[in-house]
Chain A
Amino acid sequence: MNSRPRLRRFVLTAHIVSSVGWLGAVAVFVVLSVVGLTSQDAQVVRAVYLSMEPAGWAALVPLSLASLLTGLVQSLGTKWGLFRHYWILFKLLINVAATIVLLMYMQTLSFLAGIAAKTATSSGDLGGLRSPSPLIHAGLGLLLLLVAATLSVYKPRGMTRYGQRKQHELRTGGVLVEGPDERVQPDAA
């Protein structure tokens, strides 16, 4: 049957698009953060901090959740598994941590947008408006996502103890009913 391979390719495509899209969106936030810190134009600085919150809700949050969800489906739906290989485990930890920090940081972006909305547009007020916080968070987030992308491409060898045990079970044929992808037990158990 071709339905499963097609479905897997669809999920894989969705995972790549959402993950790379998330990385690109964070890269744009790094640029916006630098502009917010360095621009001498008060209107530009205000626009940067005002736009970060809606951009975060419209781009960062959906892409991060889509990346996490499609990653879970992709790993649990194939024999890669979720806890079998170290590189997948690291990617999962990176994705979960980055998503949690992002969701919590949205409150800060809302806070900064509120300040920007109430700040006068004269250049003298820019000192109180500028914040290195978005650059720090977006920069670290970009670094983490680049590590995750690199792990996805290189797939460095190494199986967890759980993965080695499952591999041993596969070789002894204890849990298979049709083929290597037809697992009886859920991988995330």
Chain B
Amino acid sequence: MPESAPYPNIGDETGEGPVRGSTTGTPRWVKVFGLIALTLVLLVGVLLLTGGGSHGPGRHTSSGDAGGQTPPSSVTESGSSSHRPPAGGHSP
């Protein structure tokens, strides 16, 4: 005699219950999500390329684009010496 599950409602979550979603073809929501994802990837790629490699902390802190102010000399000096953005890494 099969033992009934103490938490029958989560069978769908744990994979114990029947899995639905056996539709054929690519659903419309997948195409929409894929299009959005592709657009975002291309957008980020274009932004990175047009940034000329200056996509990094220095872009935000030393170019003065935050509030139109330039950083104090102490900040830029320390940033350029001991806190240079890591080479080769993601430097947003």
Interface set of A (CB-CB < 8 Å, partner B): 2, 5, 8-9, 12, 37, 74, 77-80, 85-87, 90, 93, 101, 104-105, 107-108, 111-112, 114-115, 118-120, 124-133, 136-137, 155-159, 164, 167, 181
Extra pairs beyond A108-B91, A115-B75 (11, CB < 8 Å): A8-B15, A74-B15, A87-B21, A119-B74, A125-B71, A127-B70, A130-B66, A132-B66, A156-B21, A157-B22, A158-B29
Q: Which residue of A lies closest to B40 (CB)?
A: A140
Q: Are B89 and A128 in contact (CB under 8 A)?
A: no
Chain B residues near A2 (CB-CB < 8 A): 3
Q: Are A8 and B61 in contact (CB under 8 A)?
A: no
Q: Are B66 and A118 in contact (CB under 8 A)?
A: no
Task: Classify chain B: how many residues form its interface, as a range.
Answer: 35 or more
Interface string of B1-44 (1 = CB under 8 A from A): 00101010010111110011111101101100100010000000
Least CB distance, A86 to chain B, in whole angstroms: 5
Interface set of B (CB-CB < 8 Å, partner A): 3, 5, 7, 10, 12-16, 19-24, 26-27, 29-30, 33, 37, 56-57, 59-62, 64-72, 74-76, 78-79, 82-83, 85-86, 89-92
Least CB distance, B45 to chain A, in whole angstroms: 13
- Contact partner of B30 (CB less than 8 A), chosen from A77, A86, A114, A119, is A86
Q: Which residue of A lies closest to B30 (CB)?
A: A86
| Cα–Cα distance between A85 and B21 once the two chains are bound (Å) | 8
| Cα–Cα distance between A120 and B21 once the two chains are bound (Å) | 58
State whether A80 and B19 are in contact (beta carbons under 8 Å apart), knowing that A114-B83, A131-B57, A133-B92 are contacts in the complex.
Answer: yes
| Cα–Cα distance between A135 and B12 once the two chains are bound (Å) | 36
| Cα–Cα distance between A37 and B71 once the two chains are bound (Å) | 14
Q: Are A119 and B75 in contact (CB under 8 A)?
A: yes
Q: Could you write out 20 A-B pairs with CB less than 8 Å apart?
A: A5-B5, A5-B16, A12-B10, A78-B14, A86-B26, A86-B29, A90-B33, A90-B37, A107-B89, A108-B56, A108-B91, A112-B57, A112-B61, A114-B82, A119-B72, A120-B72, A120-B74, A125-B75, A127-B64, A128-B75
